[in-house]
Chains A and B, each alone.
Chain A
C-alpha cells in the first residue's frame, strides 16, 4: 500500500527558529513535493524534486529551502520561521507524470 509519512502532525515554533519538516515515502517515487494549504487559497506548491539532490522552485518558494539527499526523503526547511508561515504543510510523491500521493500533513504554528 502507498505510504507517505510526515515527521510531525502538529508543531509549534517561535519566530526566528529554524524549522525542519521531514517527509518519507516508501514507493520508490522519483518525484516529491511540498505544498502549503491555507483556507480559501487551496494548495500552493513550495518546492518539488524530481531526483536526488535535484529541486525546482514552485509558486511560493520565498522563505523556504529543501533538501533531498536520499530518494525516499524530502525535507522542507524554514530558515527563520515567521508568523506568516503558520499553515498546514503537505508532502506528496509521485512517479513521473502520474498522480500524487499525499502524507497526513503537518500543522505548523509560529508564535
Chain B
C-alpha cells in the first residue's frame, strides 16, 4: 500500500518569498506522484505530475517539484509567492496498474502582503 505525508498543515509566507511545501511518500514499487491545488469552495486542480520521466517536473502557475527517490520526497516549490497562490495543496501517490490515488491531508498556504 502507498501513503503520503505532508509536513505542516499550514505554511505562511510573505508575498515574493519562496514557497516550499513538503511531501514524503511510501511505496514498495515506483510511484506516480501528483500535486493538486484547491481554492476555496472549489474542486481540486492538477498542478503537476511525475510519472517516471524527468525528475524535475514543471507545472502550472510557476510551480515545480523534484522527485528524489533516495529521500522518498516530492516537494513543491515556487520561487516567488503571489497572493493568488493562497489555497490548499494536496500531494497524492499512485502506482502503475492502479487507478486510485492516495492523498495527503493537505497543506494550507497562507500568503501575506
Residue positions of A touching B, CB distance < 8 A: 4, 9, 30-31, 33, 40-43, 45, 48, 50, 58, 90, 92, 94, 96-97, 99-105, 107
- Please indicate which of the listed interface residues A40, A50, A94, A100 has the most CB atoms of chain B within 10 Å of its own CB: A100
Interface residues of B (CB under 8 A from A): 9, 32, 34, 36, 41-46, 49, 90, 94, 96-101, 103-106
6 contacts between A and B (CB under 8 A): A9-B41, A43-B90, A45-B100, A97-B94, A99-B49, A100-B101
User: In whole angstroms, what is the CA distance A42 to B9 when docked?
Assistant: 10
Closest chain B residue to A100, Cβ basis: B101
- For A33, list chain B residues within 8 Å (CB): 100
Partner among B42, B46, B94, B99 whose Cβ is within 8 Å of the Cβ of A50 = B99
Shortest C-beta distance, B62 to chain A (Å), equals 19
Query: A90 contacts which of B44, B96, B105 (Cβ < 8 Å)?
Result: B44
Cβ of B99 and Cβ of A96 under 8 Å apart? yes
Give 17 new A-B contacts, CB below 8 A, not counting A48-B100, A107-B41: A4-B43, A33-B100, A43-B90, A43-B103, A45-B100, A90-B44, A94-B99, A96-B99, A97-B94, A97-B97, A99-B46, A101-B46, A102-B45, A103-B43, A104-B42, A105-B41, A105-B42
Q: A102 contacts which of B44, B99, B105 (Cβ < 8 Å)? A: B44
